[in-house]
Structure 1
């Protein structure tokens, strides 16, 4: 193997993987995870803003259930299209630049939402905001996967993914005080703050060396990886260990095509992960979007109590993400997904059988549900990028994101339709439990990826 200043040359995907694999955890990893995590935090914060504002909008703008559903799903449609477009963009112009662009779109649109004066403009700007949110999250997860070591990738990625439920919890926590005192518009003004991060991100986060090599930019990949190695070595105060020889390689410089996701072994992977994404977000948003309104409308709770109950669900979701982060490298991806989907179905089924007779009861079982469903969501952001080669990794992750956005759209619409037709809460939770159970069956067919490098999985 040729060397560059004492290091193995980048020449192949195997050598770049070997050099990344030998890097010990360092301040560089913490810095990158923090900066990308800050982006993800605000994307999550912005995603849940509509749910926090919905009870006030329904009262002040005299919205019907159909209009409220329209207001919520407009952003979800934008997320769906944003996820699809960002996948191709992330594989074409780079992970970091795509994330920065998506954050800028999200922030500017959030400010526009704050100044909307009717449901039509509110929905339009939420759609634009959704384009940014839908594009950022899968590409950011792809980047974090590409810099992580295979033996600790699950824990590394999922501890980063905890930022997302933390952002959801923060949105609800802030809303508890801001919405009653300053109004819903103030929440969207806060949602515009990430525009500052968008400007700084490309300067402080190096592009993925794996992506640079896959695009044929070998010299840039060498320069970036050399800077990363130097920073890691300086932060640890020790020389780096030698790379392990014999790492499997994938095709290095071919341009990926979306059609490859549906050929050969990737067809099964795409089918399984798409089904899991749909189920997870159908259930997640079928519950979370309507919870504040259910508490106020169906159980007569005041707005502050409704938001506090919603916050409880987000906090348990954060706990679920932590548990799966600590366990997934040990138990594996498939067992973790099967168990979490089974737990989701059990929690919702129990709530359906007991009849959902009080706000407190719904809060308890909804919180049990989010414990499991947030673990699923985080696990899928780890799992999806693992399934595809570098040339198609962002596309593959984003295509899964497209199905999660389909779930985001259809979950709230279905719940809204049941409620609008006078259906019971027991029926709402029964159908969500059935969808979760179907997801547990799909997860049985998932390919196990724990402990293997991205190149080994796609060689």
Structure 2
């Protein structure tokens, strides 16, 4: 094993991770981090599920309804920035645990809200946790995955996020009409239990430990992981690669994201994050209310139609997970964004005349958009070195949250001023088309180690 002053080099730690066969250890880690991600997704969509009831119960105006759904998004934006810094300084696992605790405790407070002002305040606090957990968790999963199967490994984990969205909608179909919207937020607070046990059962990223100069701890952690993998597979581990590209050991700085080769990566990535979530959240947040207000559907039918969109999104994520290591990141992103633009343009041209028609084409859109969203959680950490990986992923999350905020706001503004649904979907189609062009300039990362991409 290559050493520096008696300590393991970055390259050797990476090589030892790269040679690990898939095992129960990988399953355990993905399950625990995945449980966190599932509930973060569950909590993210709760405001949309509660909105039709809140509008009647509290007699909300369109502006107040927009505040209800965007307060959490503003918190997610700030949470992503803070967590990016924390993830690179105090560690991936500890940052995720803190974010989960914030999300859960704030969810309890939301459930006790007595008016739109308190609801928005506590949703903002909940957003701080949600925005911080997801990009850092994705960074961790990237760092333990093998380069040759990283796309499938990460995206099968990322399927948990759209699954959480789908389950949130499915549960709300029964819970909201029968137990009320507050019960949904109480369910969303359950992961506070996970926050307490996560650091004891999930080892810190060895790549991060080495990047922080904690090489002896990295050696201990990687040795424990190797022993657990060997026990679970019942076979000796293969030898690490003889030569592994090693990253520069300089300390991570935020400004590095905007210099040299990283400037192009950050620019393209920011545009992709904004487009994907502008379209995704702009549609998903308002769909239940559109079904009830514009087409006169009852709440249960509206939530069932919304569930259909989440299920097709889950299917799209599965397909891209199975194909992305073959076709590559750039072709997958271009195809998915182009498909989104086409589905939205078709809906705009046909006029959005019925709830069923909107449900059909909105589901076609989420088929592609969810694949983009999960693909970006794979792609973002690949583009940056370990010292800046969480910051880079979180900076993409900043643009993600700007899209999350502006998408619903624009829809609310169009509807509030008497604009048509045709205009709503036409502007989404234009934004998705712009994203398709941006994706053509994405750097391909297929099959390369994180160190090769950033050395």
2:438 maps to 1:427:
no
Q: Secondary structure at the match of 1:301?
A: coil
Post-superposition CA distance 1:418-455 (Å, at most 9, x none): 00000000000000000000000000000000000000
2:290 maps to 1:294:
yes
CA contact (8 A) 2:2 2:12 kept: no
CA contact (8 A) 1:13 1:455 kept: no
CA distance in 2, matches of 1:455, 1:246: 12
CA distance in 2, matches of 1:255, 1:399: 18
Shift in CA distance, 206/359, structure 1 to aligned 2, threshold 3 Å: same
1:331 to 304, 308, 327: 327
CA contact (8 A) 1:278 1:404 kept: yes
CA contact (8 A) 1:73 1:412 kept: yes
CA distance in 2, matches of 1:281, 1:380: 11
Give the Å deviation of 1:2: 4.8
What is the CA RMSD across the aligned residues, in angstroms? Answer: 1.0
Count of aligned pairs: 454
CA contact (8 A) 1:10 1:16 kept: no
Q: TM-score, normalised by structure 2?
A: 0.99
- Aligned position for 1:457: 453
**Structure 1, unaligned stretches of length 5 or more?**
none
- Aligned position for 1:117: 114
2:237 maps to 1:234:
no
- Aligned position for 2:68: 71
CA contact (8 A) 2:269 2:396 kept: yes
Give the Å deviation of 1:401: 0.3
2:188 to 187, 191, 206: 191
- Aligned position for 1:22: 19
Post-superposition CA distance 1:319-376 (Å, at most 9, x none): 0000000000000000000000000000000000000000000000000000000000
CA distance in 2, matches of 1:10, 1:87: 28
- Aligned position for 1:173: 170
2:386 to 387, 390, 398: 390
Give the Å deviation of 1:200: 0.5
2:260 maps to 1:264:
yes
**Runs of at least 4 residues off by over 3 Å:** 1-4
CA distance in 1, matches of 2:449, 2:303: 42
Shift in CA distance, 278/10, structure 1 to aligned 2, threshold 3 Å: farther
Post-superposition CA distance 1:120-172 (Å, at most 9, x none): 00000000000000000000000000000000000000000000000000000
- Counting only pairs closer than 5 Å after superposition, residues 6-405 of structure 1 correspond to structure 2 as 11-252=8-249, 254-405=250-401
CA distance in 2, matches of 1:173, 1:137: 22
CA distance in 2, matches of 1:21, 1:403: 31
